[in-house]
Chains A and B, each alone.
Chain A
Amino acid sequence: MFGDYQNVVTMSVYGSSIALILIGLYGVLIKKHLMKIVIGLSVVDSGVNLMFVAVGYIKGGTAPIFSPSVIDSKPLMVDPVPQALVLTAIVIGFAVTAVALSLVIRLFKHHNTARIDQIKSLKW
């Protein structure tokens, strides 16, 4: 399907998911605002999830569903396991984000700021 452009596609799919991870990490490491950090975490999660799906892809494969039309022909199907895993990963990512947001709310109320470098009452 992709023919000679294999490398390009590899680069673009893997590259974009790795780029998402790195961009997210950058936000987590550098941005001072708590919300941005949480967003960064979500972006990282998305990158990882995209990576899961990308890795599970098999060239020319269809969705791993034996619908009436394909049940007899048994076509090449993509790997179903990463798809199942990514479902779990997404949900867990959602849960963590929700907790993170609630913590941000608490922190903002407590410190009246959302800058992470000003919230350091616990140290040493």
Chain B
Amino acid sequence: MVISPVHYIAVPLLAAFTIPLFAKIHKELTRIIPGIVLIYLTYVSYVLMSKVMTTGPIVEIIAGWKAPWGINLVYNGFSGFIASLMSIMGLLIWIYSYKFKKVDDEPALKFYILFLMMVAGSIGITITGDVFNMFVFLEIVGITSYSLTAFYRGRDGAEAAFKYLLIGSFASVFLLLGILLLYTHVGTLNMAQIAERMHTIPTSVKLSIFVMFAVALGIEAEMFPLNGWAPDAYSQAPGPVGAAFSGIVVKAGVYALIRIIFTLFDIEGSLQFLIVMGLITMIIAEVSAIRQTNLKRMLAYSSIGQMGVVLIGFGIGTTEAIFAAIFLMFNHAIIKGLLFLSGSFLVYNDDKKQIASLSRFGKKLPVVSFLFALGAFAIVGFPPFAGFWSKLYLLLAAADKNLIFLIAIILMVSVVEVIYYLRVVGKLYFGKEESKIEPKKPAFNSLIVMLILGAIIILVGVYPDVITGFIHNAADTLSDKATYISNVLPSL
């Protein structure tokens, strides 16, 4: 059996269906199997990415029906990169959460199935080449996210999950309407064919369809004003899930939005729209973040803000800017992952997750605090950490298009970001008085994961060339629409 992109979906699904049976043999298997699957997915990523880098995109046919007739998976530089990122993040977060105690208390069986499917669904969104299939995967991610957000009892998880579900339902309604309208006009659901037939749709209808898609996927990509659910969901979900939201789920949303804008539609104003929305999202989120007293909420707002910057990057639209934006997505996944993972140990025993409660934790939890500080430094873009390069590339791309005003705003917002992150770091090491709350010592496996993420941050920061090759390839792939169409529909 040759390894192909469908393994990303098929194997986790098969595993998810089998886990309830294995649970009858031994409880521990429910935890181990998702891990094995994620290790396998990482291996799949390795094999497929090396194939993509050497021989070009892989288009896989499902059920033996060629491109416009059946569903197909497109694994090219961009989707492959994001999918690999997701599978690696998924694996790391699984290792981290393996003995995460609070997860252990609850029915672990369900947690790990849901988590596995959340990762698989996100990967599905990225690699699918069919609009309706994307909707199905979005719903898989949605259902798992709602359930995982409400996973802890005794917290406001249910409230956060309900808001998420409410807004998420709007997303699915608008997405369905958009897909329906699109289908009635082009008579197909295959993205490449839609893209190819897009010019046949009357402009006004096209715009309406675009509005529906943009709103639906904007909700998933945490675009303002559609992101009311995000801070709540991030802050109430279990720590590893928060990391997965920022490292995996949002990436899927942004990916879908970008795929729609760059490949499906040919609307000129959509890029400016992205810039403006990204800008507003960034400003409002960062400004809200600075006034937070809840650590997780602060991280959540920061995450939203970063997504805004990513949207700006894509909105600028040149290959360099897309490169910067993808680099930013990568950095955000790694760094915000580290921040969420280490942060959830810092506030582990504080039910209110207050920043004030981690005063002088630097002594009690030296490694975790150090890693949090590292993440904070990296995310605000201090060299020599990973965040710096993406910021630099983004600004260079913006300067190239002479968007001076935009640069100024991004940098001003960065100052805000610096303030609130360093405030936490200062608190960690030099808080006024020692916090009364006893911290929770991280288990070995969690520590390893955080150290790996920290090492990646430093490695990419010192020598970004380890990753830029892939990202350049991804950026080139995304900006080349004609090749996408001809890859999927060779006959046309």
Contact = CB atoms under 8 A, between A and B. Distances in A.
Q: Do chains A and B touch in the complex (CB under 8 A)?
A: yes
Interface string A54-94: 01000000000000000000000000011001001100100
Main secondary structure of the interface of A (DSSP, over half): helix
B146 A107 contact: no
B136 A88 contact: yes
B165 A99 contact: yes
Given A92-B136, A95-B139, A122-B160, A52 B180 contact: yes
B447 to A, nearest CB: 30
A37 B162 CA distance: 11
B136 A51 contact: no
Contact of A122 (B132, B168, B169, B235): B235
Interface residues on A, range: 20 to 34
A119 interface: yes
A122 B162 contact: no
Contacts of A88: 132, 136
Interface in B152-177: 156, 158-163, 165-166, 168-169, 172-173, 176-177
Contacts of A55: 180, 183-184
Given A28-B166, A41-B169, A51-B177, A103 B150 contact: yes
Contacts, number: 83
B143 interface: yes
Contacts of A104: 162
B172 A92 contact: yes
Nearest to B139: A92
Contact of B173 (A44, A85, A107): A44
Contacts of B169: 28, 41, 44, 96, 100
A103 B162 contact: yes
B288 interface: yes
B142 A96 contact: yes
Interface residues of B, number: 35
Interface of B is mostly: helix
Contacts of B136: 88, 92
B232 interface: yes
B172 A96 contact: yes
Interface string A31-44: 00010010001001
Given A45-B173, A122-B156, A100 B132 contact: no
B369 interface: no
B165 A100 contact: yes
Contacts of B232: 122
A107 B132 CA distance: 32
Contact of A48 (B176, B189, B236): B176
> Which of B176, B232, B236: most chain A Cβ within 10 A?
B176
Contacts of B162: 34, 100, 103-104, 107, 119
A45 B169 CA distance: 9
B147 interface: yes
Interface string B233-244: 001100000000
Interface in B218-261: 231-232, 235-236
Contacts of A121: 156, 159
Nearest to B177: A48
Given A99-B165, A100-B165, A124 B172 contact: no
B173 A21 contact: yes
Given A85-B132, A103-B146, A103-B162, A48 B173 contact: yes
A104 B132 CA distance: 29
A82 B177 CA distance: 12
Contacts of B160: 122
A122 B292 CA distance: 12
B172 to A, nearest CB: 7
Nearest to A96: B169
Contact of A99 (B143, B173, B180, B291): B143
Nearest to A98: B143
A99 B147 contact: yes
Contacts of A21: 173
Contacts of B189: 81
Contacts of A100: 162, 165, 169
A103 B143 CA distance: 12
Select the residue from A95, A103, A124 with max chain B CB neighbours within 10 A.
A103
B183 A81 contact: yes
Given A96-B169, A103-B165, A106-B150, A89 B176 contact: yes
Contacts of A119: 159, 162
Interface of A: 21, 28, 34, 37, 41, 44-45, 48, 51-52, 55, 81-82, 85, 88-89, 92, 95-96, 99-100, 103-104, 106-107, 110-111, 119-122, 124
Interface of B: 132, 136, 139, 142-143, 146-147, 150, 156, 158-163, 165-166, 168-169, 172-173, 176-177, 179-180, 183-184, 189, 231-232, 235-236, 288, 291-292
6 contacts: A85-B179, A95-B143, A103-B146, A106-B150, A107-B159, A122-B231
Given A28-B169, A55-B180, 9 more contacts: A82-B180, A85-B132, A88-B136, A95-B139, A96-B172, A104-B162, A107-B158, A110-B159, A122-B163
